[in-house]
Amino acid sequence: MLYRLVRYLLADPMTRASLRLRRRIRRSWKRTARLHHLTVTDRTPTTAGQLTAPNGRPEPRVIAPAIRTRVDRVGVTIRMRTLPGIGPVELGEAVSYLAATWKCPRVSVQVDKPGWLVLRAVHTDPLTRPVDYTPTGAAPTGKDLWTWPVGTDEYAAPVLQPLNEVPGMTIGGLPGYGKTSLINSFIARLAPSGAVQFAVVDGKASAAAQSDYTDLADRLFRFVGSDLEEANRFFHEMVDLHARRTEHSRAMLGTQNMWQVGPSATWPWLVLVIDEAYTFFREQKGSDPQTKKRAALAAENVRLVEHLVRQGRSAGILVILATQKVTGDALPTSIRDVCSVSLSFAQRTTDAAVAALGEDIRNWPDASPLLLQDPEYVGVASMLTPKRVGFLRVRTPYLSAADAGRIARETAHLTRDPATLLPPPPQGTDFTKAA
């Protein structure tokens, strides 16, 4: 008792709230479990029961799952033994009632090792609390380089997304909900590593100075604005670069797949960001020569970018496509469907949510981006993660323009055009015809 009292008095207000929540959970667990049908009835009499029962027939025993609890600043983690007929499905159905009983905004359930489940009860909603990101300027190395800390989930646990072997990623969401900020912080985290080079094609701005990426401009080996022809030339260059990398990879890396050896300063991971992607792919309607020319460029852009997403992974190319709507009219499905990581900030319609995250989002209404249409959820995205069943919502950290600028200035000397790191091509070669 004394230990608990001292611990409570020494704790900060957040941890105290967690300690109170734990007390509520533990004190009422047996009753709560019974009320929510999380108990089993054992009718087999024990020897002791037979000896002590007045007529030798003891009452059936009602058993609640054994629990162990651990407290942190945001809530309580409960490890629970499964019982016959009481597993993740039964707990999943009960979580909203448990949250109401324990008076906390959210309770989740996950499968731990066989025979154990983990419940997480939080007393504050971590999604509604903005988180700032201050890059340290230290270069991530090894696995850290390609393991992206996207943010924290609805239970304040870190969300890590491995990006090695990922060819493409889509980021959708209504304007002003955080797509560009997320990409900026993604670049700022990796910028101190010479093993990554970045290019941005921004459909919203005609020049870097007017773009949302202006603070990071010094760390981009190329910035291309909204001009369709200029973007088309750049996509040609990237397809050409991909072909040259494929040609030289065995000689330079000893393998056809860069991810077997990892990126390096001489063979950097190429991150190609295409923001407001629909600008470059949109179908153009009209029969005048100017429109026809634009239509041909847009169709070719689709073909070139699709080639990069389909084939660029082993050469070390990641394409990030950001657009407000990820529906087929804005982002061709031939490109969208080969992107293996998808995030969506707020969306206004179910069709847009399904286009951004796939049909399965209909089965997870709690995680739907439709529910993120609230200023409190600026910077919160829904995503599918490899380690969890279903979708989760992630609070992404916010990077200030000043920090982005500082990192870009400090790391500008690492910027290299990746084409210059390969042996020069023979005169007159045009690889893009093959694409």
C-alpha 239, offset from chain centre: 27
Q: How far is the CB of 374 from ligand ATP (least distance, A)?
A: 13
Tell the smallest beta-carbon distance from residue 184 to ligand ATP (Å). 7
Does 177 participate in binding ligand ATP (rule CB under 6 A)?
yes
Does the protein bind ligand ATP through residue 158 (CB under 6 A)?
A: no
Span from 121-129, 178-186, 255-263, 421-429 in contact with ligand ATP (CB under 6 A): 178-186
How many chain residues touch ligand ATP (CB under 6 A)? 15
The answer to whether the annotation marks 180 as part of a ligand binding site is: yes
Q: Is 203 in the site for ligand ATP (CB under 6 A)?
A: no
Is 174 annotated as contributing to ligand binding? yes
Q: Is 212 in the site for ligand ATP (CB under 6 A)?
A: yes
Interface region with ligand ATP, contact rule CB under 6 A, candidates 154-162, 179-187, 214-222, 288-296: 179-187
The annotation status of 172 as a binding-site residue, yes or no, is: no
Query: Is 390 a known ligand-binding residue?
Result: no
Stretch that binds ligand ATP, among 172-180, 224-232, 351-359, 403-411 (CB under 6 A): 172-180
- Minimum gap (Å) between residue 324 Cβ and ligand ATP: 5
Applying CB under 6 A, among 379, 383, 403, 411 the residue interacting with ligand ATP is: 379
173 is in an annotated binding site: yes
161, 249, 301, 396: which one binds ligand ATP (CB under 6 A): 396
Interaction of residue 180 with ligand ATP, rule CB under 6 A: yes
| 213 in contact with ligand ATP (CB under 6 A) | no
Q: Among residues 181 and 342, whose Cβ is nearest to ligand ATP?
A: 181
What's the closest the beta carbon of residue 221 comes to ligand ATP, in angstroms? 22
By the rule CB under 6 A, 324 interacts with ligand ATP: yes
Q: For residue 181, what are its two tokens?
A: 């900020």
According to CB under 6 A, which one of 22, 120, 179, 236 is a site residue for ligand ATP?
179
Does the annotation flag 266 for ligand binding? Answer: no
User: Which is closer to ligand ATP, CB of 178 or CB of 263?
Assistant: 178
Contact with ligand ATP (CB under 6 A) among 126, 167, 173, 418:
173
- Return the HEC string of the chain: CHHHHHHHHHCCHHHHHHHHHHHHHHHHHHHHHHHCCCCEEECCCCHHHHHHCCCCCCCCEEECCCEEEEECCCEEEEEEECECCECHHHHHHHHHHHHHHHCCCEEEEEECCCCEEEEEEECCCHHHCCCECCCCCCCCCHHHHHEEEEEEECCCCEEEEECCCCCEEEEECCCCCCHHHHHHHHHHHHCCCCCEEEEEEECCCCCHHHCCCHHHHHHEEEEECCCHHHHHHHHHHHHHHHHHHHHHHHHHHCCCCHHHCCCCCCCCEEEEEEECCHHHHCCCCCCCHHHHHHHHHHHHHHHHHHHHHHHCHHHCEEEEEEECCCCCCCCCHHHHCCCCEEEECCCCCHHHHHHHHCHHHHHCHHHCHHHHCCHHHCCEEEEECCCCCCEEEEECCECCHHHHHHHHHHHHHHCCCHHHHCCCCCCCCCHHHHC
Instruction: For residue 279, state whether it binds ligand ATP (rule: CB under 6 A).
Output: no
State the binding string over 110-149 for ligand ATP (x if CB under 6 A, else -).
--------------------x-------------------
Interacting residues toward ligand ATP by CB under 6 A: 130, 173, 175-181, 212, 324, 378-379, 396, 398
